[in-house]
Structure 1
Amino acid sequence: MPPSDHGPLAPAASDQIFPGAAADGINPTPSVNANAVPRRPHRQFTFRGIAVGFLVGTLLSAVNVYFGLQTGWISLMSMPAALLSFVIFQASSPFLAYSFGEKENVFVQTVAVAVGCMPLSSAVISVVPAIEKLLDPSEGGPVRLPLMSLILWSLGLAFFGVIFSVPLRKQLIIKEKLRFPSGTATATMITILHKGQPGTGEPRQEQLQPEAYRPSEAGRSREDNAQFGSADATHDVWQSQTKLLSVAFAISAGYTLLTFFLPVLRDLPVFGRNAAQMWLWALNPSPAYIGQGIIMGQSTTLAMLFGAIVGWGILSPLAKSLGWAPGIVNDWKTGSRGWIVWISLAIMLADSVVSLSMLAGNTLAPLAKRHLRRAGWTVVPSTEDDSMADDDEGNGDGVDGCDEDDEDAPPEEQIGMRMFLITLLLSTGLCTTTIYYCFPQVPIYLTIIALCVAFVLSVMAARALGQTDLNPVSGISKIAQLFFALIVSKASPSAVLINLVAGAISEAAGQQAGDILQDLKTSHLLQASPKAQFYGQLIGAAYGAVTSSLLYRLYDSVYSIPSKMFEMPAAIVWIDCSRLLYGEGLPPYAKEFCLAFGLAFAAVTAIKSSETVGQGRLARWLPGGIAVAIGMYNTPSFTLARVTGGVVEGWWRRQASRPEDLKRRETGLILVASGAIIGEGIASLVNLGLTVLTAQSS
């Protein structure tokens, strides 16, 4: 049925989920932009989509809890979520009442990602274990949250990041047209998956890829025709991609199951038994870690390797030999591991303060200059760049406003100001109430201040993600901790606890707002309804808050946490950062090394962030501070596997001779990495069940 110029198709009276929702989904109207591809009516917000989103999201959440407690990292996995959703619906297509289209695919992966990223948003891999297991009695702890309190805490942190994304979407995606590379890549992948699939009725929207990536018919190779040609060829591509994902999944899952019976496979003494046992230089050849390295890329993983060499190869032996850390190397209190973690924290803080300060300056300066000039003030002589900035055309890099004709979804598919304000007030009230219930030591006014700080920092996180594809949530949380260390007195008996809770609020906002905007970029490129995504994100976040809490309690009840398997490094970094900011717990000579490394990486970050030299040869060779710090506080066994994946990623990309060949290679890498990560995550749940059975039988 062709779209109507007079509004959406009328929804059934009993199924008016929200304006624009039809019997089982949303029917978009034509775009107001005459040059846009016509919007075709089909379902988006669907109950089957929510169900599949919950299923895929639960798998992603389990994976992220598992790896988060091990390494402090989680994977957003928008592309794996979209791919898994497509595979599930494709496999069940004979039983579907109506076809599964691109826009419903966007909705399902949005719900799945909202569920899957909640382990970080709810802080069950970081702040919660820090409060429950590491907080000293003198600091107001430890505080053990009952399961219901943990769920309430997670629900309190679940929504305001979603709400913040509403105004940020308009500014960063519609006006400034930031790239959001992962969101754009996900949109391209969804388009390729659905192109030519029987019964979709969804034409491929060629504007997703530059003209250079669409060779003429005569110039296409066999592979090009498979990607751009007939439905049969595209179906063959889908089958090959599914096979690649399945093989990676099977290898990863099989290896993980094998580690249950042969635990030695988790730590191979590749540098000798003494290096492995005494200095922790071993290799954990985890397929998932290799997959994460592929996603991180070569430059990030090599920076992590540099951090591991400096921290574990130089500073650790130095601290032990000079008596600054006389204990066992792996001991957090007296060993060199506990000594070098302070250096990594100093690097994180320096990198965060400098990079976010420069980001704030780059964001505010052009806007201030523009408004002053419009008011009749001459700030500096006009330059070519300034005149370009004043032409009201989005440039893709995001420094200015937009033309009134910038394409956006129809008004009925957007979240209005009234709904934004209502949900903002409700989420603020929920967060304030639940935090006071769980932690009465935290004054209500400090929670409200934390929410205000969270919005400011979420703007920075979203902008950084849109420009670089990296969400600096680690740095954001450290900035929030630094801010609250300045306003909460050291004399307060709960100062460290308050610092942790306030930092968790800011991290939740920055992580959610940034990652959700990736999904909104995907939605915008595929002309899907942002309102459908908004409600899907809220539903997914609510379900994810409960799921992540249950999963954390499950792992905590079955395994010993902390332990060699679950070292929860993120929790250690959080609480040690709070103690560092309050000037407590520093071992001998750690202060001097913190100052030296902090100043050095502040300079490095300034060079890399500078617009004038940031793309130069020197800047490209300098390692990123956050990556170096992560290489220091994680043991080498975790870093080496990721470096392997990063090197493979760099080598594989360099083999591409043409842009379209590079696209295919990138897709293959993502499929392999996704299969490896998901395979180990699912198999880890089987290992968990085997552990329970073993414990019961003994």
Structure 2
Amino acid sequence: MKQLICDFAHDDLKLVEFHTSNGFHSIFCFRIIGGFGSYMFGMSEAVAKQSTEQTDAFKNPSLSWMIGFLFVVSFLGLFSVVPLRKIMIVDFKLTYPSGTATAHLINSFHTPAGAKLAKKQVKVLGKFFSFSFLWGIFQWFYTAGDGCGFASFPSLGLKAYENRFYFDFSATYVGVGMICPYIINASVLLGGILSWALMWPLIDTKRGEWYPADLKSSSLHGLQGYKVFISIAMILGDGLYNFFKVLSRTLAALFFQLRGRNASSALPIADNSSPESSKTSYDEQLRTRLFLKDQIPTWFAVAGYVVIAAISTATLPHIFHDLKWYYILVIYIFAPTLAFCNAYGCGLTDWSLASTYGKLAIFVIGAWAGASHGVLAGLAACGVMMNIVSTASDLSQDFKTGYLTLSSPRSMFVSQLIGTAMGCIISPSIFWLFLKAFKDLGTAGSQYPAPYATVYRNMAILGVEGFSALPKNCLYLCYGFFGAAILINLIKDALGKKWARFIPNPMAMAIPFYIGSYFAIDMCVGSLILFIWEKIDRAKADAFGPAVASGLICGDGIWTLPSSILALAGVKPPICMKFLSRGANSKVDAFLGS
């Protein structure tokens, strides 16, 4: 039996393939934190032009250096966590909820009921994939110019459209809304209402008092500065709270587990321990025996990390001239410890804090490099750190999946290496295709605004320029929203699970502060569809809801590839569908009549 599961999500690309062979399942997956929508694209000239600070500090994406960069930084996390796999999975028995859920899903395919359900799910996915793909083709015919098509439909009125409140008929975001928890979708909508319906109109009335009235809309010294930095403050507040929360739980759990071990016994590394069969069930004994059967020598993992780190330290300064070799060396000295913390914390909470470690690298390396070199150095360091700690936690999740599905750790590790190498080529190539097809990629208000690229770049600017880059009273508002994010999390943790699910998520609230609420409305439509479906038939909604959502997302996503090819070939849509107010329409009619 052979199954293929693909998951495309933002910058991550993951492929899982498994088959039965002599009682083993081999799992092949890869994930690349390319940062094409965040730190990497934040280096580009397109994003730099949207800011009035450090506009000359940019490095435009190029297929050659992106592939080279990913090759020298994407493997370190894999080698750093290999010697600890037995500690994580067998000795500490960390749950890794996502890895466990994936294992149960894979195992269910090998039962008659599971196979029958899987066939039905694939049929449903295919139907909605086709619908989403055809809907993308239909919309394309009406997008001959800027602001044309259904994506610019002022469904809630022209005034609401000006403040980024409208339904843009995106099958992708409707599907995402069906997958995301209700509270996440509600949090995004709440953040959009708080910012675009209340805060930004009020701050705009202070034009000329809090900031000069003649500034460009993209200037960080104007309204744009409030949008960007208040959003960053909430993201940092939420991220730092969860970082210290997970770190404290990690250290506490590690302390109690180590204290509970026999003080005379050595710390168990994958090469020198055997399962305690008398204390475990037969299934656990079998899993542990098979998990430890194919050894990956510790010396091999350590040597691999040292060799790749040396190559990376020598190579990266040639890719990013602002990133000095000693910055990289310091990162690689501390990275294994941070990778362990992230992998251990992910095993406890299912929460990877790779982006928080990346932001930490932005501020530390950016401040160290100084104002003249810090922006690009900080963003590049962010990419290095995120790749290491993220791949470490991802591989640990996959080891847990392999442990529960009787997979060979050695074959999994080799498959990870092969898959990561594939991702280093495939991911930049797809991004490069988008970059060439959509000339306005990363521009605010475009089809693909890449808001996190601007956020990450402005984090780097803040790290090297300090608070002098902020407009009047922006710093106090940032303090307030930073504290509010922490307070919301404290309240959420203080309440029980029964009530905590009604508390909004600060990270989700911060996203629309910069880009608007149009996608939040799409996501809420998806939530509404799922909610009604669950009320009508809960069993079918649980079984086929993810398949419907995946079909909507994949169909719309796949259409972007042929649309990109059409754009590269110079083929343009034949119709522009725009919406005007009655007064504007009268003026247009009068002009055309004259």
Mapping for residues 129-528 of structure 1, pairs under 5 Å? 129-133=41-45, 134-135=47-48, 138=54, 141-144=57-60, 146-196=62-112, 226-227=113-114, 234-235=115-116, 237-263=117-143, 264-276=149-161, 278-323=162-207, 324=210, 331=218, 333=220, 336-368=223-255, 407=288, 409-485=290-366, 488=368, 490=370, 492-528=371-407
Q: Shift in Å at residue 304 of structure 1? A: 1.6
Deviates more, 1:255-264 or 1:241-250: 255-264
Q: Structure 1 CA distance, aligned partners of 2:338 and 2:513?
A: 25
Q: Structure 2 CA distance, aligned partners of 1:565 and 1:604?
A: 32
The 3 A distance-change label for structure 1 pair 165 and 674 is farther
Q: Structure 2 CA distance, aligned partners of 1:423 and 1:634?
A: 42
Whether 1:605 and 2:489 are equivalent positions in the alignment is yes
Whether 1:577 and 2:459 are equivalent positions in the alignment is yes
Q: Secondary structure at the match of 2:40?
A: helix
Q: Structure 2 CA distance, aligned partners of 1:187 and 1:673?
A: 21
Q: Structure 2 CA distance, aligned partners of 1:335 and 1:270?
A: 29
RMSD: 3.5
Amino acid at match of 2:133: A
Q: Structure 2 CA distance, aligned partners of 1:373 and 1:502?
A: 38
Does the 8 A contact of 1:414 with 1:529 survive in 2? no
Q: Structure 2 CA distance, aligned partners of 1:348 and 1:317?
A: 22
Q: Shift in Å at residue 360 of structure 1? A: 1.2
Does the 8 A contact of 1:130 with 1:575 survive in 2? yes
Q: Shift in Å at residue 243 of structure 1? A: 0.8
Quote the residue 1:566 is aligned against: 448
Q: Summarize deviations over 1:20-75 as a string: whole Å, max 9, x none.
A: xxxxxxxxxxxxxxxxxxxxxxx9xxxxx9xx98xx76xx5xx55xxxxxxxx446
Does the 8 A contact of 2:184 with 2:505 survive in 1? yes
Tell me the percent identity: 24
The 3 A distance-change label for structure 1 pair 697 and 667 is closer
Q: TM-score, normalised by structure 1?
A: 0.70
Quote the residue 1:679 is aligned against: 555
Q: Shift in Å at residue 342 of structure 1? A: 0.8
Q: Secondary structure at the match of 1:413?
A: coil
Q: Structure 2 CA distance, aligned partners of 1:145 and 1:346?
A: 28
Does the 8 A contact of 1:102 with 1:526 survive in 2? no
Does the 8 A contact of 2:38 with 2:456 survive in 1? yes
Q: Shift in Å at residue 267 of structure 1? A: 2.9
Amino acid at match of 1:125: G
Q: Structure 2 CA distance, aligned partners of 1:512 and 1:315?
A: 38
Q: Shift in Å at residue 485 of structure 1? A: 4.6
Q: Summarize deviations over 1:379-417 as a string: whole Å, max 9, x none.
A: xxxxxxxxxxxxx999xxxxxxxx999825353423220
Quote the residue 2:591 is aligned against: none
Amino acid at match of 1:314: L
Counterpart of 2:27 (choices 107, 131, 137) is: 107
Q: Structure 2 CA distance, aligned partners of 1:482 and 1:656?
A: 50
Amino acid at match of 1:107: I
Does the 8 A contact of 1:155 with 1:545 survive in 2? yes
Q: Secondary structure at the match of 2:416?
A: helix
The 3 A distance-change label for structure 1 pair 513 and 330 is farther
The 3 A distance-change label for structure 1 pair 341 and 697 is closer
Amino acid at match of 1:362: R
Amino acid at match of 1:245: L
Amino acid at match of 2:457: I
Counterpart of 2:416 (choices 516, 523, 537) is: 537
The 3 A distance-change label for structure 1 pair 245 and 347 is same
Q: Structure 1 CA distance, aligned partners of 2:376 and 2:232?
A: 18
The 3 A distance-change label for structure 1 pair 529 and 654 is farther
Q: Shift in Å at residue 528 of structure 1? A: 0.7
Amino acid at match of 1:519: D
Q: Structure 2 CA distance, aligned partners of 1:629 and 1:649?
A: 24
Does the 8 A contact of 1:127 with 1:500 survive in 2? yes
Q: Secondary structure at the match of 1:621?
A: coil
Quote the residue 1:619 is aligned against: 500
Whether 1:694 and 2:573 are equivalent positions in the alignment is no
Counterpart of 1:670 (choices 526, 530, 546) is: 546
Counterpart of 2:475 (choices 577, 588, 591) is: 591
Q: Secondary structure at the match of 2:485?
A: helix
Amino acid at match of 2:319: C
Q: Summarize deviations over 1:216-273 as a string: whole Å, max 9, x none.
A: xxxxxxxxxx45xxxxxx44x3331221110121111111222211232223312201
Q: Structure 2 CA distance, aligned partners of 1:601 and 1:510?
A: 24
Does the 8 A contact of 2:335 with 2:388 survive in 1? yes
Q: Which runs of 5+ in 1 are unaligned?
A: 1-42, 44-48, 65-72, 90-98, 197-225, 228-233, 377-391, 395-402
Does the 8 A contact of 1:332 with 1:339 survive in 2? no
Q: Summarize deviations over 1:114-144 as a string: whole Å, max 9, x none.
A: 1xx32xx122322222112234895762223
Amino acid at match of 1:671: A
Q: Shift in Å at residue 518 of structure 1? A: 2.8
Amino acid at match of 1:596: G
Q: Structure 2 CA distance, aligned partners of 1:369 and 1:594?
A: 38
Q: Structure 2 CA distance, aligned partners of 1:638 and 1:281?
A: 9
Does the 8 A contact of 1:496 with 1:579 survive in 2? yes
Deviates more, 1:624-633 or 1:587-596: 624-633
The 3 A distance-change label for structure 1 pair 185 and 101 is farther
Q: Structure 1 CA distance, aligned partners of 2:56 and 2:343?
A: 34
Q: Which runs of 5+ in 2 are unaligned?
A: 144-148, 264-277, 575-594
Q: Structure 2 CA distance, aligned partners of 1:511 and 1:149?
A: 21
Q: Secondary structure at the match of 1:127?
A: coil
